[in-house]
Structure 1
Amino acid sequence: MPALLPPDLGAFPSLRGLIAFEATVRLGSMTAAANEMHMTQPAVSQRIRALEDSLGCPLFDRRGGRLSLNARGQAFHEELTPGLARLCGAIGDLRCRMRKASPVVSIAAGAGFTHMWLRPRLERLEQAFPDRSFRLLPIDRDEAPEMQKADIALRFGPHQQDDLTDTLVVPEKVFPVCSPEYARQHNLGAELDTDALQRITLLHLDMRDPRWLNWASWCRLSQLPPPPLERAFPYHNFPLLLNAVTHHQGVALGWSHVTRDMLASGQLVALGPHVTRKSHGYRLSVRNPDSAMIAPVVDWLAREFAG
């Protein structure tokens, strides 16, 4: 049996440091990561410093009081996240089996939807079905094996009416979002117009995926001239993007269900125009639709989508 680690790899980084790094990137700050991990911010910072020392290179740029991934950090995060998710899932599954736990239902969706919509509902889902456990899988690639094997999968993209393999459960509705403070500072009205697009900071995902609207395609569907994208600031994942929006750094495009909780809490305000593509959205597919363990969970999710 071959060794799991090559002999020249050196000291393997601490798993705690890797988890602290992933949480900091996903949530946009060490403070938010500390809150999620029930730790202090200095403790998270210490774990990340130890990780960087172990790897032999910095992962963040720490200039002007702002924390942002450098090129090495971004590449490392993109490679790390799927493997870390599998590792944590494997640990959780083994613990459940050792405790003779209830059956595990796996739910896979894109990282943004998982962290912004599914994860906040996980506690209520567990309360509704105390006889089973749930495993959330943040996966952005539809062709990933974990997405194919999940009991319930939520994929984003176009939907064909005659496709019987999945159901369109969340039609796409997209609109600009910003913090209330940013809207006041820049005197933004209910809808963005050509003048506003010229003077605000646009934030966007640095993701070249034709399934998703970007500022250029949103402007085209809104019948507005394309904005000056050379001034747009890119982010590499949606939770990090929304974290920047809540910190008054600019305006981003928001998808209705993903931003719904933040709009309801007042962290974000929605601006117009609203763009709806009824042919696009989140499609739900079930590996065993007739399963007595899975079908009630699908019904629960459907009620949440409709709420």
Structure 2
Amino acid sequence: MSTLPPLPALRSFEAVSRLGSITLAADELHVTHSAISQQIKQLEEWLGVALFTREGRGLKLSEDGRLYALQIRIGLGEITEATRLVRARPRVDEVVVAVLPSFGLHWLLPRLPRFYARHPRYRVSLRASLDIQDLRQGLVDIGVRMGQGGWEGLAQKRLFDDELVAVASPAFNGGRLPQTAQEVVSGPIVRTVESWLPWCNAAGVAEPGNHALWINDSNLVLEAVRLGMGVALERRSLVHGALQRGDLVQLTDIRVPYPYPHWLVWPQRESSHTKQQDFSTWIEEEIASYLTELPPSA
């Protein structure tokens, strides 16, 4: 005899023990009332113990049933999570990329059609998150991060250094845009997590004190600026496309280094090696092209 009870019987028992009703359990599992009753009877016979006591038309967990239900719930939860992790692992024809939402939206997404054109056999899944995802779990093939490098257990390659520039909508202030650094910091500012101090030091002006709005998400910042709500200091990589299209305007030539470079990071797994190499080669070429479009360093 197998030492493992039938899984349908365990699922039926867990549902009845949690919901306190055969009818509710049947509805949840999309089976008949009699099917649930039969599964419970089969499990009790298999175990040789009564899992429920009958009280009129209702059921009440016995002490053995209560203890068993606690362990079965844990076990089924672990099976569910293990199944989720296996199903979430990248497939052979899938490249799963972890990326910050802002970089994914404003830099990576517009360039992805060229990756598809070169590698039509792949489909790309972007896992956008503000949290640093653990790439060692096997759910992601490759990622783009900002930081100082040195992430444990990951191969990494420095992609490029970013910079901060002051931008506004062409329609900001009725089209009467700030012409000097002092005018930039004197107008309404959409404040972000980025410090104005390095930019102001480079410009020789005091930090702005008149902020119209404070936002901790770059995507919302750029939308607020596009709507003409103020001036913002943002990363070049996020505003480059909007500057080229004319949706935003760089207000002065002053720009300062961003302290956190962009990196390509990946877990070293044989099953993902070809995908990682293909994506790495492509994004490095895209970055080389992007860098040639930037204004020359002063």
Q: TM-score range by the shorter chain?
A: 0.5 to 0.7
Match of residue 196 from structure 1: 184
TM-score relative to the length of structure 1: 0.57
1:293 aligns with 2:275: yes
Q: Secondary structure at the match of 1:227?
A: coil
Segments of structure 2 that go 5 or more residues without pairing to the other structure are 1-10, 20-83, 290-298
RMSD of aligned residue pairs (Cα, Å) = 3.2
> Among residues 253, 268, 286, which one is paired with 2:248 in the alignment?
268
In structure 1, C-alpha distance between the alignment counterparts of 2:286 and 2:174, rounded to whole Å:
32
In structure 2, C-alpha distance between the alignment counterparts of 1:186 and 1:287, rounded to whole Å:
50
Q: Deviations over 1:235-270 (max 9, x none)?
A: 232112111111111111121122111111111111
> Among residues 241, 246, 261, which one is paired with 1:281 in the alignment?
261
User: What fraction of aligned residue pairs are identical, expressed as a percent?
Assistant: 22
Segments of structure 1 that go 5 or more residues without pairing to the other structure are 8-89, 208-212
Q: Is the 8 A contact 1:219 1:225 kept in 2?
A: yes
In structure 1, C-alpha distance between the alignment counterparts of 2:202 and 2:275, rounded to whole Å:
42
Q: Is the 8 A contact 2:167 2:234 kept in 1?
A: yes
Decide which structure has the larger Cα Rg and report it.
Answer: 2
Match of residue 232 from structure 2: 252
Q: How many residues align?
A: 203
In structure 1, C-alpha distance between the alignment counterparts of 2:288 and 2:173, rounded to whole Å:
29
Q: Is the 8 A contact 2:212 2:229 kept in 1?
A: no
In structure 1, C-alpha distance between the alignment counterparts of 2:263 and 2:250, rounded to whole Å:
24
Q: Secondary structure at the match of 2:225?
A: helix
Match of residue 57 from structure 1: none
Match of residue 102 from structure 2: 112
In structure 1, C-alpha distance between the alignment counterparts of 2:230 and 2:238, rounded to whole Å:
18
| Matched AA of 2:111 | R
1:219 aligns with 2:207: no
| Matched AA of 1:129 | H
Q: Secondary structure at the match of 2:274?
A: coil
1:154 aligns with 2:144: yes
Q: Deviations over 1:114-166 (max 9, x none)?
A: 11112222233222211111101111122x33686521111112357xx9942
Q: Secondary structure at the match of 1:140?
A: coil
Q: Is the 8 A contact 1:109 1:147 kept in 2?
A: no
| Matched AA of 1:274 | R
Match of residue 145 from structure 1: 134
Q: Secondary structure at the match of 2:261?
A: strand
